[in-house]
Amino acid sequence: MASITIRNLDDDVRTRLRVRAAAHHRSMEEEVRIILRDAVTGRRTGPRNLATFARQCFASLGGVELEIPPRGPSLRGDRCRAPSCGPTHRRLKGSVPD
């Protein structure tokens, strides 16, 4: 395996690299190897979309069950499409028939 030395690395870059490596439970050297490998092969180790990213960020907090409120009348006043509604049922009182 080849070795490289990186000179004149900014202190801020080194600090961020150290923090990133610690967050991934890796050494700085291993983190740099992974970053370089992914950069030259085009692979990504992070999430591909916002939903996956959010799921990963908040997974340790557990899930949340939200109560879905009952549906109310439509503000448009159009016909109700529920199977239990008859052909003349309207969502809002006073709607004008078709």
21-66 residue pLDDT tens: 999 999 999 999 999 998 898 877 666 788 888 888 888 888 777 7
Instruction: Tell me which residue has tokens 């990963």.
Output: 56
* pLDDT above 70 as % of the chain: 70
Residues paired with 90 in a beta bridge: 79
**pLDDT attached to residue 86:** 61
SS3 of residue 67 by DSSP: coil
Which pLDDT belongs to residue 94?
A: 53
**For residue 25, which amino acid is it?**
H
Chain position carrying tokens 């879905």: 68
Residue 94 φ/ψ region, left for φ over 0, alpha for ψ in the -120 to 50 degree band, beta for the rest: left
Mean pLDDT score of the chain, rounded to an integer?
A: 79
Q: Where are the domains of the chain?
A: 11-56
Quick one: tokens of 88?
Answer: 């003349």
Structure tokens at 67: 């109560």
